[in-house]
Structure formats: structure tokens, C-alpha cells
């Protein structure tokens, strides 16, 4: 016995609905329609969040354009959402924690300091 939410598919979703505007960490799939790629990109970017996105297409040009224009920390093309451990895992806007996976996560804790110096060893 416990609390759970069964996997749910929601159809005819509108951009103004909470399911389209909030991060829902649960087994829920909202379905919305769009007219063309421009509108799809506009709708995808119309959110305060940007953790993970998915693109399903057989057209590599569409996939590359969408990857370039959508504002998400991760994008999966024609595959399930499972990050590579050596990859960079971070969301944009109000999503994620800034990248704490793999070597990229280590770089979050480092600060670079570059010094340019001309050294004269004869000075006492």
C-alpha cells in the first residue's frame, strides 16, 4: 500500500495548462499539436523551465535546427531519455542544478586564474 500515480496520457493539451508550463516529475505525457517547426520551437521555449527535451524526426535538418533553437540543457533525438554518465547534465532557466555530472560537474567547483608575468631573476 502506498501513494502512486498511474502512467497517464493527456490529449488536446493547451500551452496555458499547468501540465505544459510546470515541471511534472511523474509518469504523465501531455500531447499538444503544432502547425510547423517554427511553432513547435516557439511552444517548446514558452516555459520557465528547460531541463530535458526530446525530438522525434526522420529529417536530420529538422533535428539540427531544433537542437540549435530550443532552450534546454539536454536534448535527445530519436531515443529515450537516459543521459550518458560522462555527459553534461544541466537544465536551463529554472531547471536543474547547473551540471553536476562527469568532468563538467567538477569544472563547476573550479575557478581559473591566469597570470601573465615577466620575471627578472636578477632583482634582489
Average pLDDT per block of 10 residues along the chain, 124 residues long: 85 94 86 95 89 85 89 82 56 58 62 55 53
Between β-strands 52-55 and 8-10, what pairing exists: parallel, antiparallel or unpaired?
unpaired
pTM (2 decimals)?
A: 0.66
- Specify the pLDDT at position 24: 81
- Specify the pLDDT at position 43: 95
**Nearest one of 49, 108, 42, 37 to 74, comparing CA atoms:** 49
Q: Are 90 and 64 in contact (CB under 8 A)?
A: no
User: How far does Cα 57 stand from its chain's mean position?
Assistant: 18
- Per-domain residue ranges for the chain? 34-107
Burial of 13 (0-12, 13-18, 19+ CB in 10 A): middle
Q: Are 108 and 97 in contact (CB under 8 A)?
A: no
CATH 3.40.309.10 fits 34-107, yes or no: yes
- Specify the pLDDT at position 123: 47
Amino acid at each position: 500500500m502506498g501513494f502512486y500515480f498511474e502512467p497517464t496520457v493527456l490529449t488536446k493539451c493547451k500551452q496555458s495548462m499547468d501540465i505544459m508550463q510546470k515541471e511534472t516529475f511523474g509518469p504523465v505525457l501531455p500531447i499538444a499539436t503544432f502547425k510547423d517547426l517554427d511553432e513547435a520551437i516557439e511552444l517548446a521555449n514558452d516555459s520557465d523551465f528547460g531541463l530535458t527535451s526530446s525530438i522525434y524526426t526522420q529529417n536530420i535538418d529538422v533535428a539540427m535546427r531544433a537542437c540549435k533553437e530550443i532552450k534546454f540543457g539536454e536534448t535527445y533525438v530519436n531515443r529515450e531519455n537516459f543521459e550518458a554518465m560522462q555527459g553534461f547534465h544541466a537544465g536551463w532557466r529554472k531547471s536543474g542544478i547547473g551540471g553536476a555530472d562527469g568532468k563538467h560537474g567538477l569544472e563547476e567547483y573550479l575557478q581559473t586564474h591566469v597570470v601573465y608575468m615577466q620575471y627578472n631573476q636578477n632583482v634582489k
